[in-house]
């Protein structure tokens, strides 16, 4: 039987995951809008650090999923 602490930990984990995912989506939308409006043509430093941050976060997320998530094997 799960304790109250385990339930709160699960709720906290899910909530923080949703907040981080929303932040990532916001950053990706901002990056796309800046690219379309030409902000990166004028400010190369902003283009560099925003693109680098998105690439690092995406890479870490993919590595985490590969390491910690297992998919069912297809036996056909």
CB contact at 8 A, 31 and 51: yes
What is the total count of domains within the chain?
1
pLDDT in tens, 16-72: 989 999 999 999 999 999 999 999 999 999 999 999 999 999 999 899 888 887 777
Residue 60 tokens, joined: 């870490």
Do 51 and 30 form a contact (C-beta atoms < 8 A)? Answer: no
Residues 6+ apart with CB under 8 A from 50: 27, 30, 31, 34
Asked if the structure places residue 15 within a domain, the reply is no
Model confidence pTM above 0.75: no
60 found inside a domain: yes
Domain-embedded: residue 18: no
Q: What domain range is 49 assigned to?
A: 23-69
Report if residue 58 sits inside a domain.
yes
Within a domain: 32: yes
Is residue 4 included in any domain, yes or no?
Answer: no
Residue 3 lies in a domain: no
Tell me if 45 is assigned to some domain.
Answer: yes
In contact, 47 and 40? CB cutoff 8 Å: yes
Q: pLDDT at residue 76 above 80?
A: no
Structure tokens at 49: 């650090």
Q: Over the stretch 1-11, which tens digit does the pLDDT of each residue have?
A: 568 888 898 89
């Amino acid at each position: 039987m799960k304790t109250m602490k385990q339930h709160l930990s699960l709720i906290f984990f899910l909530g923080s995951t949703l907040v981080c995912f929303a932040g990532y989506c916001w950053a990706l939308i901002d990056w796309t809008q800046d690219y379309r409006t030409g902000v990166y043509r004028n400010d190369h430093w902003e283009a560099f650090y925003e693109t680098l941050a998105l690439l690092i976060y995406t890479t870490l997320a993919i590595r985490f999923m590969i390491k910690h998530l297992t998919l069912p094997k297809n036996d056909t």
